[in-house]
Amino acid sequence: MKPPLQTHRGQKRRALLGFALLFLVCAWWLGLTPAGLLPPDERHWERAGSFFAAALDPAFDYEDDSVPDDAPPLVWKACEGLLLTLRFAFGAMSLAVPAALVLGFLGSSAWWPEPCVPRLRFLLGAVYGGTRLLMSVLRSIHELIWALLILSAVGVSPLAGMVALALPFSGTLGKVFSELIDEEARDAAEALKAIGHGPVQTFLVGIFPRALPNLITYAFYRFECALRSSAVLGFVGIETIGLYIELSHEEAHYREVWTYLYLLVALLVIVDLWGAAIRRRLQSDPGGCAA
C-alpha cells in the first residue's frame, strides 16, 4: 500500500498532466501558434513600437493641436475620469452589497430551524434552490454583456452603468457570502438555541457577527474589481477613464493613453493598500465587528 504522501503527489502529477493535455488539445483546436502573437506586417510592427515607446514618455498635455485653449489640462481631465470611475464603482457596490446580503441569507441554511417539519423544510429548500439559481444566473453573465443589454434597452445613463455592474457583482457576492456564513462555527449559535432563542435571532446574534469580518474583507476585494470593471465600461460609452483611453487610442495618441493608464494603476494601488490596511485591522480585532 502506497503512503498517503506518495498517493497525493501522484494525484497532483496526473492532474497537472491532464491540464497540460487539455491545453494542448484546445490550442490545436483553436489553431493557436506563437506566430499569432506577432504583428502580421511592418505597419503593425511600427504601430506596436510606437505604442510601447510612448510608455516611457507619457503626455502631460494634449497631443491634438485642435484642442481648445480653455480645455482643462490633460492631468486634470484624467483625474476627473478617475473620480467618475470611482463614482460608478461606489454606486455599483452600494447596490450590490445590500442585494448580496439578502441573497446570501436566503442562499444559506444556517438560519433554518431545527427540528424542521417536512413541509417547512421543503419550502425552505425551494427558496434556497431558487436563490442559488438566481445567483448563478446573475454572475454567469459578464458585466460588459449586462451593460450592452441594459444600455441598448434604456440608453446610456449613469444608473444603467451602475446596474450593469451591480447585477453580476450581487450574484458573486451573494454566493460567497452564503458560503462564508455556512462555514462559520456554530458553537455560539448552539448555545443560544439551548437557552430558547429562535432560529433567526440565533443567526443574527450567534453566526452573522462572527462571519462579518470575512464578509467585509471579500466585499472590499470586490470593490477593487468594480473599479477595474467600471473603467472597462468606458469602452461601451459610459463616461469613465476607460472612455478617455479608448478615444485617445483611436486617435493614436499613445502618450495620452499611457498617462490615463498610469493614473488608473496608481488609483488601484492606493485602493489595494487601503484594503490591506482594513484587512489587517479586522484580523487584529476579529471581534470588533461583533461588538
pLDDT in tens, the chain (291 residues): 555 556 667 778 888 888 889 988 888 887 777 766 666 666 777 888 888 899 999 999 888 878 887 888 899 999 999 999 999 899 999 999 999 999 999 998 888 777 777 888 889 889 999 999 999 999 999 888 988 888 888 777 778 888 989 999 999 999 999 999 988 877 766 776 667 667 777 887 778 888 888 899 899 889 989 999 999 988 888 889 999 999 999 998 999 999 999 999 999 999 888 888 887 887 776 555 554
Count CB neighbours of 69 within 10 A: 4
Q: What CA dihedral angle connects 220, 225, 226 and 229, to 10 degrees?
A: 180
What integer pLDDT is reported at residue 150 of this predicted model?
87
What integer pLDDT is reported at residue 104 of this predicted model?
92
Gap between the Cα atoms of 110 and 178, Å rounded: 9
Q: How many helices (H) and strands (E) does the chain have?
A: 11, 0
Using DSSP, state whether 95 is helix, strand or coil.
helix
Gap between the Cα atoms of 274 and 60, Å rounded: 27
Asked whether the CA dihedral 213, 214, 217, 223 is positive or negative, the reply is negative
Grid coordinates representing 230 are 467600471
Gap between the Cα atoms of 186 and 168, Å rounded: 30
Gap between the Cα atoms of 237 and 246, Å rounded: 10
Pick the closest to residue 265 from 8, 65, 55, 32 (CA basis).
Answer: 55
What integer pLDDT is reported at residue 118 of this predicted model?
82
The CA-atom distances, in angstroms, between 204 and each of 175, 185, 201, 209, 229 are 19, 14, 5, 7, 33
Judge contact between 238 and 154, C-beta under 8 A. Answer: no
What integer pLDDT is reported at residue 291 of this predicted model?
46
Secondary structure of 121-167 in the HEC alphabet? HHHHHHHHHHHHHHHHHHHHCCHHHHHHHHHHHHCCCHHHHHHHHHH
Gap between the Cα atoms of 70 and 168, Å rounded: 40
Cis peptide before 39 (omega within 30 of 0): no
Q: What is the DSSP letter of 237?
A: T
Cβ-in-10-Å burial (0-12, 13-18, 19+) of 271 comes to: middle
- Domain over 74-284 is classified CATH 1.10.1240.10: no
pTM check: above 0.85: no
Judge contact between 278 and 220, C-beta under 8 A. Answer: yes
Q: What CA dihedral angle connects 173, 177, 180 and 186, to 10 degrees?
A: 180
Using DSSP, state whether 66 is helix, strand or coil.
coil
96-113 as b/e, with b when 16 or more CB fall inside 10 Å?
Answer: bbebbbebbbbbbebbee
